[in-house]
C-alpha cells in the first residue's frame, strides 16, 4: 500500500506480523528535479548564445588567430628537408634561370627532372640568397605585398580584390624564409558564382549579411576557398620571386573606402 502527497510519499510494508511505514520527503525530490530542469534550460540558453556569438561567417580566422595557444610557428608542416640533392648541372641550370629572370617557374623546371616536393626548399634558399640579407628580403616583400590592391580573377568562380596590411617574416632551421600569417582585408563587393545554387555572381557582402541563414551551411567552405585563392596568388607573385613561403592567411572584411 502506498500514499502520496506533495509533502511526502508514504509506503506501508508488511512483513509477517511486522508493519513498516516508510516516509519519503517529496519536497527535496521535487526541488532537486526543478533545479535540474532549470539548469538544463540555462545551459541550453547559454549554448544558443555561444552559437549565435560564433555565427559562421565568410571570414574564418587563420590557424594562428583561431588557436594562438596551440599554434607553434617554429614547427612547420613542411619541415622535412630532403637535403641538397640537386646535381651540379641542375643547380647551374637553376642559377641561370634565377639570374636571367629573378624568379622560378616550376612548370619549366619539371621538364628537366626537378621535383617541387623534393627540391623546392633548396631552390627557395637560392632565391633568398640572391636577394641578400633579411632586411633586403623584407624590403622586397614590402614592395610586392604592401600599399597596393591585389586582384583575384582566375581562381574558380571567384572575383575579388584584397589588400595585405601586415605579415610576420620568419626563417626556419633549414634557412628557408616563410611568413607565419598574412593579414588581409577583402573587398566586400567581390563575388563568387555558386554553380549549384545560382548562375549569377553573389557578392561577399550579401553572403556574409545573411539574415535568413540561406548560405550558412557553405560559408565556412567559401571562406577557406578565399584563403586558398589568396595563398595561390601569393605563391605566384611572392614565393616564385623571393623564395618566401606563405603558411597561412587571415582575412577580414574591408571598408569600401579602402578600395577606392
For the beta carbon of residue 89, count every other beta carbon within 10 angstroms.
9
Regarding whether 142 and 19 lie in a shared domain, the answer is: no
Regarding whether 20 and 139 lie in a shared domain, the answer is: no
User: Is 66 within the bounds of a domain?
Assistant: yes
Percentage with pLDDT > 70 across the chain: 68
Query: Model confidence over 151-163: pLDDT tens digits?
Result: 999 999 999 999 9
**Contact in structure between 234 and 116 (CB atoms under 8 Å):** no
Q: Which of 83-97, 106-120, 183-197, 204-218 has the highest mean pLDDT?
A: 183-197
Regarding whether 72 and 37 lie in a shared domain, the answer is: no
**Contact in structure between 182 and 164 (CB atoms under 8 Å):** yes
Structural domain containing residue 234: 57-76+131-259
| Residue 75 in this model has a pLDDT that exceeds 50 | no
Count of the separate structural domains present in the chain: 2
CA nearest neighbour of 29 among 60, 54, 4: 4
First-residue to last-residue Cα distance in the chain: 85
Regarding whether 236 and 138 lie in a shared domain, the answer is: yes
Query: Model confidence over 105-156: pLDDT tens digits?
Result: 777 777 777 877 778 888 888 899 999 999 999 999 999 999 999 999 999 9
Regarding whether 66 and 18 lie in a shared domain, the answer is: no
User: Is 201 within the bounds of a domain?
Assistant: yes
Per-chain mean pLDDT for the chain: 78
User: Is 111 within the bounds of a domain?
Assistant: no
SS (H, E, C) 59-123: CCCCHHHHCCCCCCCCCCCCCCCCCCCCCHHHHHHHHHHHHHHCCCCHHHHHHHCCCHHHHHHHH
pTM: 0.70
Q: What is the CA radius of gyration of the chain?
A: 31
Regarding whether 46 and 145 lie in a shared domain, the answer is: no
Give the position of cell 633548396.
122
Residues comprising the chain, all counted:
260
In whole angstroms, give the CA distance from residue 94 to residue 103.
10
pLDDT at 34: 62
User: Is 118 within the bounds of a domain?
Assistant: no
User: Is 82 within the bounds of a domain?
Assistant: no
Confidence of residue 82 (pLDDT cuts 50, 70, 90): very low
Query: Model confidence over 12-68: pLDDT tens digits?
Result: 656 666 666 555 565 666 666 666 765 665 555 444 443 443 455 677 766 666 555
Residue 16's SS3 state is coil
User: Is 181 within the bounds of a domain?
Assistant: yes
pLDDT at 236: 92
User: Is 241 within the bounds of a domain?
Assistant: yes
Regarding whether 234 and 146 lie in a shared domain, the answer is: yes
Confidence of residue 100 (pLDDT cuts 50, 70, 90): confident
Query: Model confidence over 183-196: pLDDT tens digits?
Result: 999 999 999 998 87
Amino acid at each position: 500500500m502506498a500514499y502520496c502527497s506533495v509533502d511526502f510519499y508514504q509506503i506501508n510494508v508488511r512483513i509477517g506480523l511486522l508493519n513498516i511505514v516508510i516516509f519519503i520527503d517529496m519536497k527535496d525530490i521535487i526541488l532537486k528535479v526543478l533545479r535540474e530542469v532549470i539548469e538544463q534550460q540555462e545551459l541550453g540558453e547559454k549554448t544558443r548564445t555561444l552559437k549565435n556569438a560564433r555565427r559562421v561567417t565568410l571570414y574564418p580566422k587563420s590557424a594562428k588567430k583561431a588557436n594562438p595557444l596551440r599554434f607553434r610557428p617554429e614547427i612547420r608542416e613542411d619541415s622535412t628537408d630532403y637535403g641538397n640533392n640537386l646535381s651540379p648541372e641542375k643547380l647551374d641550370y637553376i642559377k641561370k634561370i634565377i639570374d636571367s629572370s629573378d624568379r622560378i617557374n616550376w612548370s619549366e623546371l619539371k621538364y628537366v627532372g626537378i621535383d617541387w616536393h623534393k627540391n623546392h626548399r633548396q631552390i627557395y634558399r637560392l632565391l633568398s640568397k640572391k636577394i641578400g640579407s633579411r632586411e633586403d628580403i623584407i624590403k622586397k616583400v614590402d614592395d610586392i605585398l604592401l600599399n597596393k590592391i591585389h586582384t583575384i580573377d582566375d581562381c574558380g568562380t571567384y572575383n575579388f580584390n584584397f589588400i595585405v596590411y601586415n605579415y610576420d617574416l620568419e626563417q626556419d632551421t633549414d634557412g628557408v624564409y616563410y611568413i607565419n600569417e598574412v593579414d588581409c582585408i577583402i573587398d566586400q563587393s567581390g563575388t563568387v558564382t555558386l554553380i549549384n545554387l545560382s548562375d549569377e555572381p553573389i557578392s561577399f557582402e550579401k553572403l556574409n549579411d545573411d539574415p535568413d541563414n540561406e548560405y550558412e551551411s557553405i560559408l565556412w567552405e567559401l571562406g577557406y576557398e578565399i584563403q586558398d585563392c589568396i595563398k595561390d596568388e601569393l605563391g605566384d607573385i611572392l614565393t616564385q620571386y623571393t623564395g618566401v613561403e606563405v603558411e597561412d592567411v587571415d582575412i577580414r572584411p574591408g571598408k569600401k573606402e579602402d578600395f577606392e
